[in-house]
Amino acid sequence: MTGLQGERTSGELRQEDLSAIAGVKYGYLRLLDLKEFDQLGRLLTEDCTASYEDGRRSFEGRSAIVEFLTGALGDPGIVTQHQCHHPEISVGADGTARGTWYLEDRVVVPAHDVEISGTAFYEDAYALVEGTWLISHTGYRRVFEERRVHSTLALISFRSRF
């Protein structure tokens, strides 16, 4: 079914919604790596929840999430790279959406001569707030994670969900 002159009908999937949801996720990743955590917070609903490290670190509320990210990654000596791709997005008629994203990430901490990298799947939820898509939940479950000595790339540990 198609809405009249831009009106959305129940269950209709619009390209504008998919593009906006992808844009908010990409913005989250960019601001995360640039350590612009206050701006990143503007992409989250006030009551957003987050579940990092396979649920070992969970947070409720925008301010708690921003505070955690600032404390965990705010040190300029920690360099991160987060890339998400292969989105699977479904948009509901009620102004909500869900998205699964494949994550590849890398964290380098030269002061401790350590490098962490791996892959995971983000499971996100989104809400349409005053015409703008925001993240209402974000979290990931690891596929694998490896820790290496940064200077030599010697393997310290490897874990997999399998």
Q: Which domains does the chain have, with CATH numbers?
A: 13-160 (3.10.450.50)
pLDDT confidence tier of residue 159, bands split at 50, 70 and 90: very high
Token pair for 118: 């791996």
**What are 82-118's pLDDT values in tens digits?**
999 999 999 988 999 999 999 999 999 999 999 999 9
pTM, two decimal places? 0.89
Does 4 have pLDDT greater than 60?
no
- Residue range 118-127, pLDDT digits in tens: 999 999 999 9
